Structure 1
Amino acid sequence: MQKISQMVGVSLFAVAYTSSANAQVSAEPPAQPQAANRDVGIADIVVTAQRREQASQDVPIAVAAFSADQLEKAGLRTATDLERVVPGVTLDSNGARSPIFLRGIGNNNYGSQSSVLTFVDGVYQPFDNTGGTEFSNVESIELAKGPQGTLFGRNATGGVLQIRTKNPLNWQGLDVQLGYANYDTLSGKIYAAAKLSEVIAADVAGFYYNQDNGWGTNLFDGSDYYTMKRYGARSKLVAELDDSFTVTLVGDYSNRRGQLGVGLSRAANSEFIFDSGADFGMGRKLFLPTIYDVNTDDPRSGWKTEEGGGALTLEKRIGEVKLLSISSYRRAKEFFLVDIDGGPVPAFTLDRTDRRRVFTQEFQASGAGDRFSWAAGLYYYYAKSKIVGPVFGGPVTQFAFFTPPGVDFVVSSTDMANSYAAYAQGTFEVFTETNVTLGARYTIEKREITGRTTGSPVLSPESAGTQEETFKKPNFRVAIDHKFTPDILAYASWSRGFNAGFFSQQAFFFNDVLNPVIEPEEVDAYEVGIKSDLLDRHLRVNLAAFLYDYTNLQQQVYINNAVTTINAAAARVKGAEIDIVAQPVRDLTFSFSGTYLDTEYKSYPAAAFYEVQPDGRLTAEARDAAGKQLVLAPEFSWQASATYTLRTGIGTFDTTGNLNYRSKLFADPHNDFVIPDRVLIGLNERWTSNDGKTSITLWVDNLTDEQWNSSTALLTPNGNIGRPAPPRTYGVTFGRTF
């Protein structure tokens, strides 16, 4: 399988310098309100990658787009599932946070925003909980690749994930789903919408998920480990006060808890971790039977998070001009605890509590004429985090941090960000079917952190301080696109993205010498691509090639049981993507998507070099990693799927099979610790009654029960800690619409 996968990847590169625009798992004649109105052939998905509604094939940006029906047919239930159907996507679970890595670019840094941002109905979601986003009342999702700063309020260096939810003015009724799966997993979703008057409608969407049995076992007491529970609700009120003025008010709440990302499990290609608390602190190898097992004495090991907020969107049309105001406020509380010694002896723990709140305000004006479309806006972002942690506890603390017996060593900080930005983008039709796009943005962002430590008579007295820094950066986008025919679009673009700098929240001393500022990262992204619908829209082929030049790439590392972030001086990513969808007949659809990445640190003089010692402990020192591949950037990744629809007298049967391959990754910048390649097979069978109101879905993910890691963390001295991905899961879902 590995050789076949590499051959496919090489042929992708030879076909050449590709692009993904619509990594569609399936497509069918339009049955969704967001599908373009075509009588035959492959349906378009309407996207808003340029902040206006366009068919995805008409957008000169690489976009992976899915309708609600495609999500259901493919069995995509949360944002985590995107990794199975969009090549080049990797999710790095770290407690409640699951930021997206896209085309080899991403970060999991505390204190910084993700490189790939998430928006729900145009509202920025700031807390990096993408992996837990449930697809409960979704109308469509789209993943735009590359820097997106000249049209979105918040800067995005890697891409933007947009989730569009249903409008209660367009559909009223009740939709209920109940599911049961192995690991004693009970799930449910509900969506209800009703008109309150001719111009006002409201809805409520809720979800519940409870995986009661764990994937693995805590060897300390035999209890289940890697369980998960999450629930939440979201409500939307929409008022179309007249033909030109719409008010949308949204509120949501969610609660999630689990252990994924904080348990100290071995990596898939390792047999042990290092138990630093064993043998009176001397430590020894701790062998674990599977990648899902741990051996922890602390029952608090795990994480929990609460998040909620509200948003008010005002939309007014004056002639051809649309005025938009988006105001949002969000709060989150997150707690996690790691039994950091790695073993059953109560020696060393680490926990952290975050209380965060974010306010955003965006004003935008946009318009379109026969030959010119434009958008311009102002954006304000305010964030404040009160952090207690890391908190180091246990007997080892008095030796590591010189604390009195029984006293924890505590790092406390308050981190604030104030950001102002102005942006504008315009598209001109300079010749018939030839457009030039110019965009610009200017950002001013001030970061301030105040922190101190307590508990150590040696370290704490000199720890307190306040640090400030202001970052000012322009960004831009230049693009040209040409339609050779109504169904063939070619484009080329150059854009610059920017992710502001920040201060480490994990520091022991809050001054500019011992806690230097993390410099802003900047990327120049070059891309060419072609989007084509062929054979009377029964074949879609999209290709792209891209080159990213990064400076000051922000990278998170784990040294001496602490998390810190450093700048890699420079990095380069070259890649190619292909996306093929074929619909030879109305009820049969094939798709294939592939990504090839060639990544390299051009300069990284102080990269962490990890080494396993004979006794099993992991050590680290600084060494130059220039010339090495980027972490979490697979060279090859691809997915292939097929969907067949069988229409019978008792209802419609939709059968979907998906095959997903990801080549090996590197967990460290020196490429010594490998995350092995993996192949996943998924099957989904959905029956829908002839009236479209009742459905039953049988599904299985990871059919071959492959044990694999979505990512790993190099944690000194514990070793290569695996973040396990789900084993084989299967279940049934019942749906009913009233």
Structure 2
Amino acid sequence: MRRLKPASANLQNSTKTYSFLTTLVHILGEDKVLNQILDSQVRRRAIRGSLMMSCAAFAVANMGAQVAHAQETGLADIVVTAQKSAQNVQDIPLSVTAVSGEALQSKGITTVQELNRIDPALQIGHATGTVTTFIRGVGNPVTTAGNEASVPVYIDDVYFIRASVPFFDLASIERIEVLKGPQGTLFGRNASGGVISIYTKDPNLASPELEARLGYGNFQTMDAKLYASVPITDTLAANISVSYHNQDQGWGRNKRLIDPLDTSKGYRPGGEDYWKGHSFSARGKILWEPTDTTKVKLIGYYQNSWNQIGIYSRPFPGTQGGTPDGAHNGFANLPGVFPIPSQVLPELGFYDVALGDTQKQYDKSKGYGFSGRIDQELGFADIVSITAYRKNDELYASAGNYSPYNWARYDLNVVDKQFSQEFQLKSKSSSKIKWILGAYYLNADGGFDPTTIHGPGVGASGIQGINIYGQQKVKSLAGFGQLTYPLTDTTNITGGLRYTIDKVRGDGRTDIVFLPGVFGAGSVTVTDQIFDANNNCSNILANTFFGAPLNGTCNAPNPNVSKTTKKWTWKGSIDQKVSDDVMVYGTYSRGYKAGTFNTLPLDSAALGPEVIDAYEVGFKSELGGRTVRLNAALFWNDISNAQVQAQRNGLVFLQNAGTARTRGGEFDLTVAPARGLTLRMAGTYLDAKFRKFDGCATYSYSTTAPGNLDQSTTNCAGNHMPYASKLKFSGGVNYAHDMSGTGNFTFDLNGNYATKFNWDADNVIKEPAHFFLDGSIAFTPEAAEHLTLRFWMKNITGVKYNINYYAQASGSAYSSAPGAPRTYGGELVFKF
């Protein structure tokens, strides 16, 4: 904790700081070199305006600095481990957003998907049971098993190779850190866009803790959470966190056609509830400190869930859906079951779907994991070991056509397991020179075992079922190091380097099971698209129909069964303390996302790695007797071999684009003008475009099959990148007040705004601009200080928005899933 300076010194430093910030704004707006870099007039004005408004706010805050100090108000230090050791976030030459567990609870943020409401640089989606993450425009929305995000998610320093939603229930959270820009040195593999680190509470060795939450909301939603921590001895403690969620009523209805052969008659009234789900998760920790220099931490966790939310199940609002068409969907038409030729489906309500009785979509998931961490202090340094294992079984049940007909079905059996080991040797916290050396190993399997396609449309083609097997096995080994050296008392330089060897191996095949009578009296299985170390028989099915033996093999060697990538990533930065309260910094870093196989199906060579070179300049400041905190940054990312979403035969996959660029500016302002009152505002300007991207997939309505889509390719050079709003702002107010003789009231109101963005690289379908407002009020009576009653409401204005998107060319429509409508409820909290 810093020693407080006299108010006169604070005022003097604040005056110097204001002068410096004004000069910096002038430089950013007028320097010819920077103007050439920031060649967008709109963007330059946005950044300049944001910084000037922030500086003006500082001027007002500084006028009252002495008064604020006299009132003993101020902002608390935020300690993070973004560089693998505990540091004040204001001392790190890196853009970081850190949120405490208490702040998350006050703001009503209960899932990782809601974090984008407090950090405008962050865009998080939710599709088919998986979190999709973007930071500053870098990321991809592909949820195919085996693919990894460009913005990885860590829990308690363990990387989750597949970010399945149920693992990220934000219960018993200590804090969350969002690190922006490539983190290729300390976090390494696939941290090309940034990192989201979640830290859960450790057991308390000093005293027992108990917190229970019981809540109920609209849509018959029940939530229950329990956290308990118990000291067992002076050196041993344990805790457990349990969370249960059940939304028993859906946001919309599953509609049925009045006449399945004439869609112009519309839908029947009513329908079964749709968009609901339930989950259970538990996490336990054991903390053992046998000596003053040794700490051992063991963690175990489990989750079980069933969910319809986040699965694209209806046409994107404003677009048309259609009945099945064999030419577009790959299987036989069914006369008398659905109209031939196809017809356009009636328009649905925003939260409604139209799926057949056996076409209901859901994601069912069950998984567990363990990790162990040892911290050992040595005479000259500290050593850390982190060992982790995780396994998750998942079934994604999908309709082959988002229409009211029982025609084709896809059951995706997901393989998801991993083992990792990390060692760190790092300098003592008191060391003037900060350094860290480390090694990291990852062994993971991801893919499908198998994806089964079946249903009446498949059977009418003479096929009992199609089983698509595809798995990617990953082995990654890395060594890394980083050093921060103080050139002077106010100037530091940091250099980091990491060398990674990634090996991915693909194994896949497709089994087609023909019905009895097609090739003899019994059923016959034909294996196609074999992809392993021995064969790549991608034409055996075609040969079968032209007279080749059913058990024929091609024995063609496959040189692309595995891919090894060796990469150097690095970071270099310099930071300068302009005063005790202001730091400026500049950073150049490189990150990359490893090459990967498409696993659905796995029948082609692996993609090349995505490489990002990032440049960032910024400042961090605390003013007005620490009642005002303003951080801002400008960034520029050059992307090579961007991995983007595409589609083939109705199945999503990744492809390499050429080059892309994201650039922009951001600021984060927090003010504590009075006791108990905190105001916050943050904003981001983002210009994200493809520079080179030929062979980009695009979609248009079929001229022969109404409501169905045709796929073609185009040149997307110059197009905006997906999920990249040009402007995003968030802000909020938190006020806590003790009323003598009554109790404590806490009020929290948060809003966020985002301009429109494109869902895909072809820039055809756009998500409209949105403004969200969430709020809560809590009361803790003076006579029962262990009890709190809290009322909350999310999406107060009832904004209709989408949380994912997928253009299914071989299906029926541009498809999507809605985000939650207005929700509200109350909870009773007991703390001891």
- Is the TM-score greater than 0.5? yes
Question: How far apart are the structure 1 equivalents of 2:101 and 2:394?
Answer: 30
Pick which of 708-717 and 483-492 moved more.
708-717
Cα shift readout 1:632-685 (whole Å, capped 9, x = no counterpart): 111111111111222112211111111111111101212121111111111111
Does the 8 A contact of 1:480 with 1:491 survive in 2?
yes
Match of 1:179 among 215, 227, 241: 215
Q: Which of residues 139, 147, 155 in structure 1 aligns to 2:182?
A: 147
User: 1:480 and 2:574 equivalent?
Assistant: yes
The match for 1:118 is 153
Match of 2:814 in 1: 720
Q: Deviations over 1:494-525 (max 9, x none)?
A: 110011101110126x3xxxx13211101001
1:416 counterpart (473, 476, 499): 473
Q: Distance in 2 between matches of 1:269 and 1:581?
A: 39
Structure 1 segment 312-391 matched on structure 2, within 5 A? 312-368=372-428, 370-385=431-446, 387-391=448-452
CA shift digits 1:171-211 (9 cap, x unpaired): 52211000000000000110011011110000110000000
Distance in 1 (alpha carbons) for counterparts of 2:667 and 2:471: 45
Listed one character per residue, the Cα deviations across residues 564-584 of structure 1 (whole Å, up to 9, x for unaligned) are: 210111110011101111111
Work out the CA distance in 2 between the residues paired with 1:727 and 1:186.
Answer: 17
1:674-689 aligned at under 5 Å gives the runs 674-689=766-781
Amino acid of the residue matched to residue 197 of structure 2?
Q
CA contact (8 A) 2:477 2:502 kept: yes
1:650 is aligned to 2:742: yes
Pair 1:67-2:100 in alignment: yes
How many Å apart are 1:623 and its aligned residue?
1.2
* Matched AA of 1:444: I
TM alignment of 1:515-534, pairs within 5 A: 515-534=604-623
Larger helix percent: 2
- Structure 1 counterpart of 2:495: 438
Moved more, 649-658 or 276-285: 276-285
SS of structure 1 residue aligned to 2:152 = strand
The gaps in structure 2 that reach 5 residues or longer are 1-40, 55-70, 257-269, 326-332, 515-523, 533-560
Residues 102-111 or 458-467, more deviating: 458-467
Whichever residue aligns with residue 404 of structure 1, its letter is G
Describe how 1:167-246 pairs up with structure 2 within 5 A.
167-170=202-205, 172-220=208-256, 222-246=271-295
> 1:404 aligned to 2:459?
no
Give the whole-Å Cα distance in 2 for the aligned partners of 1:100 and 1:329: 23
1:505-544 alignment to 2 at 5 Å?
A: 505-507=599-601, 510=603, 515-544=604-633
Match of residue 659 from structure 2: 570
- Percent identical among aligned pairs is 31
Q: Point out where structure 1 has 5 or more consecutive residues left out of the alignment.
A: 1-6, 21-37
Where 1:628 maps in the other structure, the secondary structure is coil
Task: Confirm whether residue 289 of structure 1 aligns to residue 361 of structure 2.
Answer: no
Q: Which residue in the other structure is 1:428 paired with? A: 485
Partner SS, residue 431 of structure 1 = coil
Match of 1:638 in 2: 729
TM-score (norm 2): 0.82
1:452-493 deviation line (CA, Å, top 9, x unaligned): 111167995441121111111110000111111121111110
Q: Select which of 135, 149, 154 maps to 1:102.
A: 135
Specify whether residues 628 and 269 from structure 1 end up closer, same or farther in structure 2 by C-alpha distance, changes over 3 A only: same
1:689 Cα deviation from its structure 2 partner? 3.4
Tell me what 1:734 maps to.
828
- Report the equivalent of 1:496: 590
2:82 aligns to what? 49
Whether contact under 8 Å (1:556, 1:565) holds in the other structure is yes
Whole-Å Cα distance in 2 between the matches of residues 18 and 247 of structure 1?
A: 49
Q: How much does 1:222 deviate?
A: 1.7
Q: Deviations over 1:341-393 (max 9, x none)?
A: 11122112122001221000001110045431011100000002352343221
| Contact 1:295/1:342, CA 8 A, preserved across alignment | yes
Q: 1:273 to 1:489 in 2, by over 3 A?
A: farther
SS at match of 2:126: coil
Q: Deviations over 1:604-632 (max 9, x none)?
A: 11110111235222211111100110011
Distance 1:133 1:67, change over 3 A: same
Paired AA for residue 371 in structure 2: A
Supply the distance in 2 between the matched residues of 1:554 and 1:19 (Cα, whole angstroms): 37
Residue of structure 2 equivalent to 1:14: 48
Structure 1 residue 274, shift from structure 2 partner: 5.5
Residue of structure 2 in register with 1:394 after alignment = 455
Aligned to 2:642, the other structure's residue is in SS state: strand
Give how far 1:710 is off: 2.1
Kindly provide the CA deviation profile for residues 11-33 of structure 1, in whole angstroms up to 9, marking residues without a partner as x.
5422368999xxxxxxxxxxxxx
Instruction: Provide the C-alpha distance between the structure 2 equivalents of 1:436 and 1:459, rounded to a whole number of angstroms.
Output: 63
Q: Which residue identity is paired with 2:346? A: F
Q: 1:669 to 1:8 in 2, by over 3 A?
A: closer
Find the structure with the greater CA-based Rg.
2
Q: SS of the residue aligned with 1:168?
A: coil
Q: Is the contact between residue 118 and residue 161 of structure 1 (CA under 8 Å) also seen in structure 2?
A: yes
2:529 aligns with: 463
Scaled by the length of structure 1, what TM-score is found? 0.92
2-structure distance, mates of 1:331, 1:736? 33
C-alpha distance after superposition, 1:523-564 (max 9, x if no partner): 001111111111111111111010011011111223431112
Q: Is the 8 A contact 1:411 1:454 kept in 2?
A: yes
Asked whether the 8 Å contact 2:311–2:816 carries over to 1, the reply is no
Matched, 1:250 2:278: no
Are 1:586 and 2:635 an aligned pair? Answer: no
Match of 1:137 in 2: 172
Q: Which 10-residue stretch deviates more, 609-618 or 330-339?
A: 609-618
> Retained in 2: the 8 A contact 1:193–1:202?
yes
Alpha-carbon distance between aligned partners in 2 of 1:726 and 1:19, rounded to the nearest angstrom: 33
Deviates more, 1:486-495 or 1:271-280: 271-280
> CA distance change for structure 1 residues 306 and 444 in 2, over 3 Å: closer, same or farther?
same
Change (3 A) 1:71 1:423: same
Deviations 1:237-257 (A, max 9, x none): 000010001111100001121
Change in Cα spacing, 1:319 to 1:287, as seen in structure 2 (3 Å) is: farther
**Deviation at residue 712 of structure 1 after TM alignment:** 1.6
Alignment match of 1:80 (pick from 105, 113, 116): 113
Question: Residues 573 and 585 of structure 2 are in contact (CA less than 8 Å); yes or no, is this contact kept in structure 1?
Answer: yes
The DSSP-based 3-state class of the residue aligned with 1:98 is strand
Q: Aligned residue for 2:789?
A: 696
The alpha-carbon distance between structure 1 residues 274 and 115, as it changes in their structure 2 partners (threshold 3 A), is farther
Q: Secondary structure at the match of 1:83?
A: helix
* Cα distance in 1 for residues equivalent to 2:480 and 2:525: 45
Within-5 A mapping of 1:617-632: 617-632=708-723
